[in-house]
Amino acid sequence: MSLKFALLRALFHGIGAIKGEKYRYSQEYEDNFKYMDLGEKLWWGYKSVARQIENAEKGKGIEKYFAGQDLSFNSGNAFAADSKVTISAGGDLSSSEMIFPENTTQLWEDIKDFYFNADIVCANLECPILESKPPVGVPGMCLTAPKLNTSPDMFSRFTAGGKGVNFFATANNHSLDQGEEGIAATLDFLDSKGYRHVGTSRTQEEQKDIPVIEKNGIRIAFLSYTYCLNGEDPIPGKEYMTNVLRLNKPDTDIALIKDHVQIAKQKGADVVVAMLHWSIEFETYPIENIIEMGHRIMESGVDIILGGHPHVAQPMEKYRFYDPYDKREKEGFIIYSLGELVSLNLFSKNSRLASIVKLELSRGVENGARTVKITDLKVLPIYISYRAMRNGETDYRVLDFRKTLRELRDGYNPHSFDRREIGELERLENLLYERVLPRESSRILI
């Protein structure tokens, strides 16, 4: 750690001590650098390098609400399924100065059987792929947003050489890091490799061409939006290139989402999935604004929300809503933040814990009517492992969190964790069971 960064960290700890109890709880704010005042920037810096926030907004009942969630999705006796499809989802795929092809040879080894064993495997691609420029990653110590860029070789790691992630959301706060050229190059690259995507567009027609994937007779539409562009404005006259809405604000107009849902329904979508880059960084719970926004989006006809961006895992919710297209009550699923997938925040300890979810969708007949519904949910907690090896090299991989803890308790330590890291794993276990997961989670855990 550099002296400059050590002093900054000490400064933020001092600010936290002065702020006292206020800095122990989530607060209502947009988390958007374009509109932050000095106090909000200090709040962000404190969470980034000093202490992540594990307590929800005070007096809102948010912790109790998520702890009491029933995340079982039972088909019910009245439902007779004749076809099924599975979607697995992981969090943010980013570029980092500390993550590269040479230290990710075993990236997916521990979780691939769960994550990749689905009809659709999706994640958020949080870095452009502009081959004419060198890769740029997040540095180990960072207080400003770098202009990211990744390489085809690193992208091949994301997809496990064609056996891994196969659908990408591209709307996020780094979408414009390499400008208009970067958006076009990224989408051209994905197209050349045969990967479907949504969230950024080369033309207005492409923005309106909502991708609908049909598997086993079930049609699933995907949408993607970001709450900001790291202080940048959408390209003048080409606003269609980035699906950006201020999702963290309570009064934001979501007409764009409603328009896209309508297009998806016109294309015959049975299920609409929205991959949202939103919520508040380094906080375990979504604030009330975010929860209300999630409900508004579902009530516009979205069935599943897969959230990302906060760099930490956040809770899940089963939300009953009236679908304006099906004209009936439905059960939707929201995960407010999956957390990291391929990314590294050295000073955000809670960023090492993340989630992968797998949803089963079934088509069938219920009370004489044909329908598609969520019939199962499984959750795999994961641990982001980054280790310095004895030979001076490093190793980055994604581990099955609960399996790793079981091995350690059985006296097996294949990753050579030291006492400090074992202590961190145990602390994160408490965070997982006490705050991220509901009280009753045994039926959904892998």
Tens-place pLDDT, residues 291-300? 999 999 999 9
**What is d(CA 396, CA 211) in angstroms, rounded to the nearest whole number?**
33
DSSP letter assigned to residue 374: E
- Map tokens 């870095």 to a residue: 127
State the span(s) of the chain assigned CATH 3.60.21. Answer: 65-384
Three-class secondary structure of residue 99 per DSSP: strand
Give the confidence band of 345 by pLDDT, cuts at 50, 70, 90.
confident
Q: Is the per-residue pLDDT at 443 higher than 90? A: yes
Residue 360 to residue 344: CA distance in whole angstroms: 30
pLDDT one-digit tens code per residue, 397-437: 999 999 999 999 999 999 999 999 999 999 999 999 999 99
* pLDDT, position 168: 99
Instruction: Round to whole Å and give the CA distance between 67 and 437.
Output: 7
User: Which DSSP letter does residue 446 get?
Assistant: -
For range 337-365, the mean pLDDT: 95
CA–CA distance, 405 with 141 (Å, rounded to integer): 28
Instruction: Say if CB 9 and CB 49 are below 8 A apart.
Output: yes
Exposed / middle / buried, residue 248 (Cβ in 10 Å: 0-12, 13-18, 19+): buried
Q: Which H helix or E strand runs over 424?
A: helix 419-431
Place of tokens 């990967």: 195
How confident is the model at residue 407, as a pLDDT? 98
Q: If 0-12 CB within 10 Å is exposed, 13-18 middle and 19+ buried, where does residue 187 land? A: buried
What's the CA gap between 361 and 230, in Å, rounded?
A: 35
pLDDT tens per residue across span 28-82 = 999 999 999 999 999 999 999 899 999 999 999 999 999 999 999 987 778 999 9
- The pLDDT value recorded for residue 142 is 66
112-126, 233-247, 261-275, 383-397: range with lowest mean pLDDT = 383-397
DSSP character for 36?
-
User: Measuring CA to CA, which residue among 275, 337, 245 is closest to residue 122?
Assistant: 275
User: What confidence tens digit (pLDDT) does each residue in 91-122 have?
Assistant: 999 999 999 999 999 999 999 999 999 999 99
Q: Read off the pLDDT band of 143 (50, 70, 90).
A: low
Q: DSSP of 195-220, one letter per residue?
A: -EEESB-SSHHHHHS--EEEETTEEE
pLDDT interval class at 369 (50, 70, 90): confident
pLDDT at 63: 98
> Does residue 167 have a pLDDT over 90?
yes
Check residue 178 and give its pLDDT. 97
Reply yes or no on whether the pLDDT at 393 is more than 60.
yes
CA atoms of 430 and 428, how far apart (whole Å): 5
Give the predicted TM-score (pTM) of the model: 0.97
- The answer, yes or no, to whether residue 83 has pLDDT greater than 70, is yes
CATH number of 65-384: 3.60.21
- Mean per-residue pLDDT of the chain: 95
Question: What pLDDT score does 76 carry?
Answer: 78
Q: Is the dihedral of CA 341, 212, 332, 28 positive or negative?
A: positive
* Interval 234-261 mean pLDDT: 97
Residue 1 confidence (pLDDT) above 60: no
